Amino acid sequence: MAFIIQGKGVGDAIVFGKAWILPSVSKFEVEYKSISCGKVVHEEIRFRNAVKSLKAELKELSSSIEKNLNSEFKSILETYQLILDDNILINGTKEKIKSSKCNAEWALVQQLNFICNEFNKINDPYFRERQQDIEQLVSRLLKKLNALENSDIDAMNEKNNFPNASQQKNNWILISRDISFSEISYLDSHNVSAFATELGSPTSHLAILARSLNIPAILGLQKSFNLIEHGEEIILDSECGAIIVGADEKTIEFYKNRKLKKTNFKIQLQKLKDVRCITTDGIKISLMGNIEQPEETEKALNQGAEGIGLFRSEFLFLNKNSMPSEDEQYNAYKKVGNDMKGLPVTIRTLDSGADKILPYLDNNQEQPANPALGLRAIRLCLANTDIFITQIRALLRASKFGNIKILLPLISGSSELITCRTLIKNAMHQLDLEKREYNKKIQIGAMIEVPSAAIAIESLLPYLDFVSLGTNDLIQYTLAIDRTNRFVSNLYDAEHPAILELIRGVVSVCGRNNIPVSICGEMAGNASHTQLLLNLGIRSFSMNCNEILLIKEKILKLKTNTSYKQ
């Protein structure tokens, strides 16, 4: 019987594939089983085999990742290898199997609890992060043990996180309750071409990352995804946010046609790459790309981006064991500056906190009641000025290579800008003393994404060279909608009159003061808002690179001012 499971789509693709179900077993709930003396050796061997199998898998993953873009995950995998060689977890578990005459799962979780208790006594972020690594590994070992228990090698691989090499001849669609930033990076190398999760919403950073990696996805999937069977053929329609299960011939034909039309349309769009983006009333509109990794400049240029309007630098800081050094950051920023060959490159300083936690940063750890209202973005940087200064030094040093600008996130008032300016001056002074070159006239801008900043924009402009409207957060904070919460995502309304009023106000005050304004929230890459944004006076858009040509195609047919009705 055919049926549809609905969620919120990310991207506009049609994907045919087999469902790869990630079981959402509670990680550490295991049953205690007592075993006889004679079974102890067997249980130890079962545990040793699980460790061996996981080690082999990590090794394989590590060498495949080496060839790929996300090389930083290699260091995480190396940490995992080290833990698997570690005496406390592995030998400790074997000891427990022997001394307690119990099953390997129970012994493993007891040993994990023991290690976590010890780590909790040490108030050090390094150990807290190690704890998360160990938990991840224990969870994977439990899955291995579970498969071995059933002595079903196929099941062992299938129940494991991702398809193994022989299964990769199939095209998979991953279905799961949730997925982490690091897991997303494994998808491509495991022939998983789309994913759908119960958690998440279309404006969350998870969705933004999926869009930027060009992975079709559905977030906030209805709970009934449990009805999909592992290995079942399904169709994922990320434009409509639907998974079609048990499709008949006619439905398959319909989706094949739609897919073909989309492919042909994309080929047509590519022809617009070098076409100037001008409205029918002759107004030049600038279209730039948002990127999360330095390697994405190539994609931006291939899509005809006129610059990088937003480089979310925090993705250099995530999925790492420690803060990237000044030189590491400098090299990344320099690469983007060089690659873009003199086109503007707007690099946003670290926007961590809320849904982008850095495990190695102490005051990034507590789970506050309202994370989006807490120590996030510029607030976090001003509470850790060493991090901010390091990043600014790297940005300034890279500013010699290309047209780099600095963008400050989550500014809520002028006092933050004054402090930032002072710190930037300090960093410049340090570089002067070290006789290092940098662009002394580097432009400094602010994300306008907090209602107070939008309303009091006039008070911020004396400290700014440009502004960028971050509508993702502006909508979240103005409408009081947690952008990561799927239960309220239906209320997330980009065209709410309050949002339009704020945009109109910012554009008009900036216009009067000759301060350039652009928009870099997801709204910029959504063709259904393009006319409205033109009407509001937006002339510079920055968006996910995959949307640039689609928006250009739209703008080429529009006038800047129409009697468009909401």
- By annotation, the residues acting in catalysis are 205, 520
Stretch that binds Mg ion, among 9-17, 49-57, 417-425, 441-449 (CB under 5 A): 441-449
How many other C-beta atoms are found inside a 10 Å radius of the C-beta of residue 341? 10
Stretch that binds ligand PEP, among 103-111, 118-126, 295-303, 471-479 (CB under 6 A): 471-479
Residue type, 375: L
Stretch that binds Mg ion, among 7-15, 125-133, 470-478, 550-558 (CB under 5 A): 470-478
Residue 482 contact, options ligand PEP, Mg ion, none, Cβ 5-8 Å cut-off depending on partner type: none
DSSP 383-411: HSHHHHHHHHHHHHHHTTSSEEEEEE-S-
| Residue span 446-465 as binding mask against Mg ion, x where in contact by CB under 5 A, dash where not | ---x----------------
CB of 15 closer than 8 Å to CB of 235? yes
Residue with tokens 């968006």: 543
Out of 312, 334, 393, 529, point to the residue binding ligand PEP (CB under 6 A): 312
Work out whether 445 is an interface residue with Mg ion (CB under 5 A). Answer: no
Stretch that binds Mg ion, among 112-120, 421-429, 434-442, 443-451 (CB under 5 A): 443-451
Instruction: Please count the residues of this chain forming the interface with Mg ion, following the rule CB under 5 A.
Output: 3
Residue 143 contact, options Mg ion, ligand PEP, none, Cβ 5-8 Å cut-off depending on partner type: none
State the Cα–Cα distance between residues 198 and 346, nearest whole angstrom: 34
SS3 at position 15: strand
* Mutual angle of helices 40-66 and 92-100, in 10-degree steps: 160
**Distances in whole angstroms, Cα of residue 438 to Cα of each of 338, 339, 435:** 14, 18, 10
CB of 63 closer than 8 Å to CB of 81? no
Structure tokens at 467: 């502004």
Work out whether 391 is an interface residue with ligand PEP (CB under 6 A). Answer: no
How many other C-beta atoms are found inside a 10 Å radius of the C-beta of residue 200? 29
Minimum gap (Å) between residue 542 Cβ and ligand PEP? 8
By beta-carbon proximity to ligand PEP, the closer residue of 115 and 206 is 206
Minimum gap (Å) between residue 147 Cβ and Mg ion? 41
Work out whether 549 is an interface residue with ligand PEP (CB under 6 A). Answer: no
State the Cα–Cα distance between residues 196 and 483, nearest whole angstrom: 18
Residue 520 contact, options Mg ion, ligand PEP, none, Cβ 5-8 Å cut-off depending on partner type: ligand PEP
| Residue span 339-378 as binding mask against ligand PEP, x where in contact by CB under 6 A, dash where not | ------------x---------------------------
* Mutual angle of helices 385-398 and 414-433, in 10-degree steps: 60
By beta-carbon proximity to ligand PEP, the closer residue of 408 and 520 is 520
Angle at 36 between CA 33 and CA 37, to 5 degrees: 130
Residue 140 contact, options Mg ion, ligand PEP, none, Cβ 5-8 Å cut-off depending on partner type: none
| Residue span 515-534 as binding mask against ligand PEP, x where in contact by CB under 6 A, dash where not | -----xx-------------
Work out whether 547 is an interface residue with ligand PEP (CB under 6 A). Answer: no
**Distances in whole angstroms, Cα of residue 475 to Cα of each of 379, 497, 550:** 19, 11, 23
Give 53's contacts (C-beta < 8 A, 6+ positions apart): 144, 156
Residue 312 contact, options ligand PEP, Mg ion, none, Cβ 5-8 Å cut-off depending on partner type: ligand PEP
Work out whether 241 is an interface residue with ligand PEP (CB under 6 A). Answer: no
Out of 306, 473, 482, 522, point to the residue binding Mg ion (CB under 5 A): 473
State the Cα–Cα distance between residues 378 and 380, nearest whole angstrom: 5
Work out whether 237 is an interface residue with Mg ion (CB under 5 A). Answer: no
State the Cα–Cα distance between residues 221 and 201, nearest whole angstrom: 9
State the Cα–Cα distance between residues 536 and 291, nearest whole angstrom: 25
Structure tokens at 40: 């102890």
Residue 289 contact, options ligand PEP, Mg ion, none, Cβ 5-8 Å cut-off depending on partner type: none
Residue 278 gets which letter from DSSP?
B
Out of 202, 304, 337, 470, point to the residue binding Mg ion (CB under 5 A): 470
Residue with tokens 């969705």: 207
| Residue span 169-208 as binding mask against ligand PEP, x where in contact by CB under 6 A, dash where not | ---------------------------------------x
Could you tell me the end-to-end alpha-carbon distance of the chain, in angstroms, rounded to an integer? 40
What count of residues does the chain have?
566
Instruction: Please count the residues of this chain forming the interface with ligand PEP, following the rule CB under 6 A.
Output: 11
Work out whether 402 is an interface residue with Mg ion (CB under 5 A). Answer: no
For the chain, the maximum distance between any two Cα atoms, rounded to a whole number of angstroms, is: 86
Chain residues binding ligand PEP by CB under 6 A are 208, 310, 312, 351, 449, 470-473, 520-521
Which residues are at the interface with Mg ion (CB under 5 A)?
449, 470, 473
